[in-house]
Amino acid sequence: MSDNHGAARNRDDQFENLAAELTFAIYPIALRHGMAGSWIKVELGLWRALAETVKKWAREWPPAGSSDEFEVWRERFLINLTESAFGIAVKHGIKGSLLEVELCLYRALRLVIGREALRLQITKGRRS
């Protein structure tokens, strides 16, 4: 039972680390577009929203199978991450073109998700 608890804890840590990396990638975008209020509330709001989204989508991870199925899952995950981050940005009074902000968030999140997918493929390849 402790092995299961340790594995679950490790998985939770990985989710939180991914949320932190995602937040690190998009926080400067939020700052550049003039958020209202406390910077720490913005950063924590982004991290919480992204962490919740990561955990939700991790439960929906597709079973091993076609790469097409994984690509669809990944794109939907990315869109949901973008929506979560954009919602926090709007809540905190982002200024400027909303479309530009949303597109910048999407691009930054896509880069991190792409790096993580590559890292997972490399790690899996080493274990095989």
33-67 pLDDT per residue, tens: 988 878 899 999 999 999 999 999 888 877 776 77
Model confidence at 31: pLDDT above 70: yes
> What pLDDT score was predicted for residue 69?
83
Q: How many other CB atoms sit within 10 Å of the CB of residue 112?
A: 18
Domain that holds residue 92: 2-127
Is pTM beyond 0.85? Reply is no
> What pLDDT score was predicted for residue 6?
61
Query: Which residues make Cβ contacts (< 8 Å) with residue 17, sequence separation at least 6?
Result: none
- 86-104 pLDDT, tens digit per residue, is 999 999 999 889 999 999 9
Mean pLDDT of the region 113-122: 72
Domain count, the chain: 1
Query: Which residues make Cβ contacts (< 8 Å) with residue 74, sequence separation at least 6?
Result: 113, 117
